[in-house]
Amino acid sequence: MTALAGHKLQEAVYSMLTLSQSLALKFAGIFDQPPADAGYPYIELGDMSANRAALKDRSADAITFAVTVWSNEQSQMQVRELMADVDAVLSGQVPSIVGLDSLGLRLTSANVVRQFADRQALYKGQLMYSAQLYEQT
């Protein structure tokens, strides 16, 4: 298995998020790299790391990745509610990736941080997920 497994996982997660009608109504967009003029709130697909998993009969990668929710509301309540909406779409789901099997996505941590940019306060809600991807036998 190559490092491209992470790329394939990101594509599958992007598809899962964009196919959700409930998320489409709540977010201005879903981005890998948000444009400077992105409307709020939006989802950013962020950092990813992959480690080789030890299996007897096939190759596998343990992948950890971030999904970040950005909000410009005055309170952190909106970002927390939107994080729950994203997690309802992703947690426990098995991404469809050609040539690979997965046990499903698992939320490993979540946090909210207030950040200041261009004279405005933003809330950044970060969800960290893990997945194990296996070569199909």
| pLDDT tens-digit series, residues 5-54 | 788 889 999 999 999 999 999 999 999 999 999 999 999 998 999 888 76
What is the DSSP secondary-structure string of 47-68? EEEEEEE--SSS-EEEEEEEEE
Distance CA 68, CA 44 (A): 5
- What pLDDT is attached to residue 14? 96
CB-count burial class (<10 Å; 0-12, 13-18, 19+) for 116: exposed
- What pLDDT is attached to residue 32? 92
pTM of the full structure: 0.90
What would the mean pLDDT of 78-88 be, rounded to a whole number? 97
- What pLDDT is attached to residue 62? 86
Q: What are phi and psi of 61, to 5 degrees?
A: -130, 135
Which top CATH class is 4-135? alpha beta
CB of 123 within 8 A of CB of 73?
yes
Per the listing, tokens 């003029």 go with 37
- Pairing label, strands 100-102, 106-117: unpaired
- What pLDDT is attached to residue 81? 97
Indicate the domain borders of the chain.
Answer: 4-135
Report the percentage of the chain scoring pLDDT > 90: 60
Q: What are phi and psi of 28, to 5 degrees?
A: -75, -20
- What pLDDT is attached to residue 1? 52
- What pLDDT is attached to residue 23? 96
What would the mean pLDDT of 1-5 be, rounded to a whole number? 61
